[in-house]
Amino acid sequence: MLIPNLILFLPMMFLISISAIPAFILLDLTKEHRNRYIRKWAEKFGITKKVAISFQEIS
């Protein structure tokens, strides 16, 4: 039972990671266009100032 699980599990990790690479490349290529689109709609709603956001862990 262990051997068939390993045969299926090990290649699956690589297939999932390799299939995600084109999505990350596409997101990187369309980043500037997405930013301009959001800024255009924000301007229509009267949002013109930029905001700096920082994330902090609360413990």
Give the pLDDT band of residue 32 (cuts 50, 70, 90). very high
What would the two tokens of residue 44 be? Answer: 């229509």
CB proximity list for 48: less than 8 A, separation 6 or greater:
42
High-pLDDT (> 70) share of the chain, %: 98
What pLDDT, on the 0 to 100 scale, is given for residue 47? 87
Q: What is the mean pLDDT of the chain?
A: 89
For the cut 80, the answer to whether the pLDDT of residue 2 exceeds it is: no
For the cut 90, the answer to whether the pLDDT of residue 27 exceeds it is: yes
The DSSP line for 2-54 is HHHHHHHHHHHHHHHHHHHHHHHHHHHHTHHHHHHHHHHHHHHTT--------
**3-state secondary structure at position 50:** coil
Q: How far apart are CA 42 and CA 48, in angstroms?
A: 7
